[in-house]
């Protein structure tokens, strides 16, 4: 990552509120949040990548000439080899896009790169610091069930691909607990923003 630019990572396991934190941070004029999930989807559905996706996942992943997101989800959930192959193709392209956006950005902009897999892909050293969104397990499961209508077993299976919340909390520069009312969370994000702007030393737990 460009060392002249101010770039923080924003991570957290599924259902822990990182996207909400990113949304609140984006309200500040000098903050630019780069959502790796969104960039990944753009790459997945890019017509130029369709052939590679079909080679990796098979013809069932394509419907009417375009990638079928539901089919892709089912294939990679049931086939870890295919999942790894797809990630090996997409992840480098995602980080390439992120690097391009940072390189072409304003020197006065603070970039926040939102990704669930910063630690899993060993990218943490590329950032000035890592912001970790977290919450207790019960709240995490409730959020995922409400959003995806998955069973506890399905949630557990998907979380196997992510490091434990505790690991990320211990290693993050800024830890923000999102298990609180919206107004309180916005105040926490405001404190987070002030911390980043002032270049305060040490770890921040909110």
Residue 1 has pLDDT above 70, yes or no: no
| pLDDT at site 133 | 93
Residue 204 has pLDDT above 80, yes or no: yes
| pLDDT at site 5 | 82
CATH class of 6-205: alpha beta
Angle separating helix axes 69-78 and 50-57, nearest 10 degrees = 40
Residue 193 has pLDDT above 70, yes or no: yes
Domain residues of the chain, as ranges?
Answer: 6-205
- Tell me the pLDDT of the chain averaged across its residues: 87
In angstroms, the CA 163 to CA 132 distance is: 12
Tens digit of pLDDT for each residue in 62-101?
Answer: 887 888 888 888 887 778 888 888 888 989 999 999 999 9
Residue 2 has pLDDT above 70, yes or no: no
pLDDT bin (cut points 50, 70, 90) of residue 3 is low
What would the mean pLDDT of 126-141 be, rounded to a whole number? 89
Q: Are 110 and 128 in contact (CB under 8 A)?
A: no
What would the mean pLDDT of 102-115 be, rounded to a whole number? 90
Tens digit of pLDDT for each residue in 26-75?
Answer: 999 999 999 998 998 898 888 888 888 888 888 888 887 888 888 888 88
| pLDDT at site 15 | 85
| pLDDT at site 32 | 94
pLDDT bin (cut points 50, 70, 90) of residue 194 is very high
Higher pLDDT, 137 or 26: 26
| pLDDT at site 188 | 94
């Amino acid at each position: 990552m460009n060392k002249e630019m101010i770039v923080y990572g924003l991570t957290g396991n599924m259902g822990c509120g990182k996207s909400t934190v990113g949304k609140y941070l984006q309200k500040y004029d000098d903050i630019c949040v780069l959502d790796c999930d969104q960039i990944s989807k753009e790459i997945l559905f890019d017509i130029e990548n369709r052939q590679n996706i079909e080679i990796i996942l098979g013809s069932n992943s394509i419907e009417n000439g375009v990638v079928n997101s539901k089919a892709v989800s089912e294939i990679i959930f049931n086939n870890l080899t295919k999942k790894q192959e797809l990630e090996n193709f997409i992840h480098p392209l995602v980080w390439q896009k992120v690097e391009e956006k940072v390189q072409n950005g304003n020197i006065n902009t603070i970039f926040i790169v939102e990704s669930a897999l910063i630690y899993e892909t060993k990218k943490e050293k590329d950032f000035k610091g890592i912001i970790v969104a977290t919450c207790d397990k019960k709240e995490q499961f409730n959020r995922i069930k409400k959003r995806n209508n998955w069973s506890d077993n399905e949630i557990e299976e998907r979380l196997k691909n992510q490091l434990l919340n505790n690991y990320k909390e211990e290693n993050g520069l800024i830890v923000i607990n999102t298990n609180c009312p919206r107004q309180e969370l916005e105040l926490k994000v405001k404190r987070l923003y002030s911390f980043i702007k002032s270049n305060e030393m040490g770890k921040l737990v909110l």
